[in-house]
Chain A
């Protein structure tokens, strides 16, 4: 609810698929290369050329369909969407109109600790367009780079189930993590791998849905949040002032933070969709659909919910680990095989391990950290063989060298002293040597306790079990 209005949001998300070649020709599908260098007569739309479908695109889209619990249509077709624009060399985009590859799915997202199920209307495949280049150097002309023409896209259309910009953002982040998990999209926002169009309407509770507007040119998740909030406020202000919302397409300007009208419903483009006669009907055998389904791992949104709900891990840590295939695999193995607390495993993972990986640019496989090692490490800390501080030293070694943990402990002399008799002896010596601190403590200066425990740790060369040491000192001083 915003200012007494309910908000209804639906998103159309475009994701570029990371296939090796483009959707309708054999040009490489690569970003950031010299303008008009990744092109051929087919993707440049030269007269007489014909498209041929890259079947990998169908596989990738079906995977996403499975991940979003969609029905996969075993028979579907491709259609032409006709419009003129200089970045579209054929003057039509090959897309899918009435029969998409995947439809009627859903995705569960985690909002404020609660699962929200967002409907997925459809997922279809289509080709990307080129890019116009504008510069003062072009003497008033615009140039066009066709490298992106024919880059495969899936368009994921949600039901109008989202209720706030925050939910929209979580939904988008969930889609992103799934795309990444399936390894079908680079998810590089700055390269435009994921873009979305936003549909927003507002209405008073109990009243019928309001008129919706569509907003284009939303190129990042944070822009989506800003754009949605802007649009919600704009519509509410209009309605509060006694006006009406008109159905229209608006363009979001993220720099200025405003949206402006592109065209009204009356001026809506008629794309004159019709079946693409140059391509055959797409027929996907049930075996292929089933085989692709088997390739779908547990997805990050499911992991996230499991981590938070079953393990009581913080949302931040759970999100971080669930979104990384590598980290999640390590964590899952630890929780399955080990008997330590999931929280212990995850704090090593999001702490020392991630810091090291980020600092060095290495992957987990480059280190000696395995689930078995991490389980053993947590175990020797839990049973007080070594201290937490000692554990960090062991971990640091394991990042660089593959050695048995017990060897590292003995080499570094990290075995923790938990023998009460030994600790009592240390305590007696330290108390005898620090009469002033003992007096201070007894006069109420409680921070003297910390000093005395510290002296004991020093005397034990750090091997004393710090918890036990503290208990013993406290007892002796009372």
Chain B
């Protein structure tokens, strides 16, 4: 097995035993990047020079006998909507093509504090709006398992880079499925934490009440390791939860005996590919064989989730993205006549079609006369969806569902049909609407050999239960496998 293919846990142990240095590992990852990046196109910005300097610093500290975090010295990629001080953060938008943040996101402060080596910034759908990473202003990232296909989105660069071993792990962000869906398409593990578990400070906001940063990794243990580093209260984020978190990786065990797994009818009906349905049902059956108890449940408001999600997320986005007005930073139209014209031209030219579509949708649903019919109703549905989950978790520990209704589609296939594109989020958005944690873990392959994800949803702050269940399943079926590139 090549070094770059190894899991974070294995590499962490090797670094600890000084079987490899972080500098060597970082060089190894960059040579892997050089070998496959042309095919995958995962990165918007590479930062090799600083990565090597960070690696050297960690090696020095390790040599000096310092006690280091398990992720110290591991090359990690960052989604390009997470602010990195001194390293441009584009959100894959023309609007921020040359924007270099003057501060680090709180997760970056934590990663740097833990000694992570930052490889660079990963491609995404523009401002995280999209399900295929095709709305990026810069490039189309490809699925490492079939480079004709999309890697999913919006954290497509993160999932593809991890799947292609261009980073040991990566951070993504998930507003409606943007970690889980690409993780599923790329055969990796992606976890969307409970809303409030990870600080959003420095994450360029898409939909403030739904956004969460989370890990994408090749194994459940790796995801647990990275999650432990980024979780925690942050006084810079008023919505961050005030609580302590366990060492998720250390607490992992493959025991699902007696675990009650809910199978919600609504996630296995129309619109779900047969092979996806079969794969997820088989996964549930495997867990049952290992002692878990399956229980059919119903989450009747699921049908409304997608509409409420698109109303709430677009409403917040229309306001969050208003600051990109050409005044202070980012793109400004070259020629304009007066202030209003400057705003119009800057925003017309700086944003791509999908972002503009969401801004218009969001502006509309917040407009006077429409607010009650759309935004207010969507918030009511949000409460109902949340309540149904709360009720469900009285009877079950975990809910199992597909992450995405189908496997990765071809590049360009859905670009002309936004509604079809939005429908790929059908299984993931409810989790964000309810503020819950969920993980996508690779399950069996369908005949085309494209990865399929099993989604496990937990109650608030039940990350450990999700990780344990996913870990048990991964042990049964083997989890990640290296794509041929």
Residues of A within 8 A of B (CB): 41, 44-53, 80, 82, 84, 86, 89-92, 144, 270, 272-274, 277-280
Contacts and interface: CB of A to CB of B under 8 A. Distances in A.
A277 B103 contact: no
B323 A47 contact: yes
B96 A47 contact: yes
Contacts of B200: 48, 50
B379 to A, nearest CB: 8
A263 to B, nearest CB: 13
B2 interface: no
A223 B324 CA distance: 36
B105 A272 contact: no
A278 to B, nearest CB: 5
B315 interface: yes
Nearest to B209: A277
Nearest to A92: B319
B373 interface: no
B96 A277 contact: no
Nearest to B103: A41
Contacts of B325: 84, 86, 91
Given A84-B325, A86-B327, A272-B367, A47 B319 contact: no
B41 interface: no
Contact of B343 (A47, A84, A278): A84
Contact of A279 (B238, B318, B368): B238
Interface in B153-179: none
B204 A91 contact: no
B83 A47 contact: yes
A294 B406 CA distance: 64
20 contacts: A41-B101, A44-B328, A47-B324, A48-B89, A48-B101, A50-B201, A50-B236, A52-B236, A52-B237, A53-B238, A84-B325, A89-B323, A91-B322, A144-B328, A272-B367, A272-B368, A274-B375, A277-B207, A278-B239, A279-B238
B85 to A, nearest CB: 10
A46 B201 contact: no
Interface string B320-350: 0011110111000000000100010000000
B238 A51 contact: yes
Contacts of B319: 80, 82, 91-92, 272, 274
Interface in B187-223: 200-205, 207-209
B371 interface: yes
Nearest to A268: B368
Contacts of B329: 46
Interface in B208-255: 208-209, 235-239
Contact of A50 (B238, B339, B366): B238
A272 B363 contact: yes
A48 B316 contact: no
A139 to B, nearest CB: 16
A470 B107 CA distance: 90
A41 B201 CA distance: 11
Nearest to A40: B103
Given A44-B328, A47-B204, A144-B327, 6 more contacts: A41-B101, A45-B328, A48-B203, A50-B238, A82-B319, A274-B366
A82 B366 contact: yes
A90 B322 CA distance: 7
Given A90-B322, A274-B315, A47 B89 contact: yes
Given A272-B363, A280-B239, A47 B99 contact: yes
Nearest to B202: A48
Interface residues of B, number: 44
A75 B99 CA distance: 39
A274 B375 CA distance: 9
Contact of B238 (A41, A144, A272, A280): A280
Contacts of B204: 47-48
B460 to A, nearest CB: 16
A274 B207 CA distance: 13
Nearest to B363: A272
Interface of B: 81-83, 89, 91, 96, 99, 101-103, 105, 200-205, 207-209, 235-239, 315-316, 318-319, 322-325, 327-329, 339, 343, 363, 366-368, 371, 375
Nearest to B367: A270
Contacts, number: 101
Nearest to A24: B238
A86 B326 CA distance: 9
B250 to A, nearest CB: 31
Nearest to B102: A41
A52 B238 contact: yes
A280 B339 CA distance: 34
Contacts of A47: 83, 89, 91, 96, 99, 101, 204-205, 323-324
B199 to A, nearest CB: 9
A47 B101 CA distance: 8
A89 B235 CA distance: 22
Contacts of A82: 318-319, 322, 366
Q: What are the nearest 9 A-B pairs in CB distance?
A: A91-B322, A272-B366, A277-B209, A277-B208, A47-B204, A48-B202, A48-B83, A48-B204, A86-B327
A49 B91 CA distance: 15
A326 to B, nearest CB: 39
A226 B387 CA distance: 57
Contacts of A51: 238
B364 to A, nearest CB: 10
A273 B81 CA distance: 26
A94 B381 CA distance: 25
A51 B208 CA distance: 12
B208 A48 contact: no
A105 B238 CA distance: 31
B175 to A, nearest CB: 12
A92 B89 CA distance: 22
B188 to A, nearest CB: 25
A50 B101 contact: no
Contacts of A53: 238
A131 B239 CA distance: 30
Contacts of A84: 322, 325, 343
B322 A49 contact: no
Given A45-B323, A82-B322, A82-B366, A50 B237 contact: yes
A48 B371 CA distance: 26
Contact of A46 (B102, B208, B367, B375): B102
A271 to B, nearest CB: 8
A49 B102 contact: no
Contacts of B237: 50, 52
Contacts of B322: 82, 84, 90-92
A82 B363 CA distance: 10
Nearest to B205: A48
Given A49-B201, A52-B238, A274-B315, A91 B323 contact: yes
A278 B371 contact: no
Nearest to A53: B238
A270 B368 contact: yes
Nearest to B91: A47
Contacts of B96: 47
A89 B329 CA distance: 10
A22 to B, nearest CB: 14
Nearest to B324: A47
Nearest to B376: A274
Nearest to B127: A47
Contacts of B235: 52
A51 B367 CA distance: 24
Contacts of A46: 83, 101-103, 329
Nearest to A146: B328
A360 B254 CA distance: 81
A255 B302 CA distance: 61
Contacts of B323: 45, 47, 89-91
Contacts of A52: 235-238
A90 B328 CA distance: 10
Contacts of A90: 322-323
Max chain A C-beta neighbours (<10 A), residue from B96, B204, B236, B339: B236
Contacts of A50: 200-201, 236-239
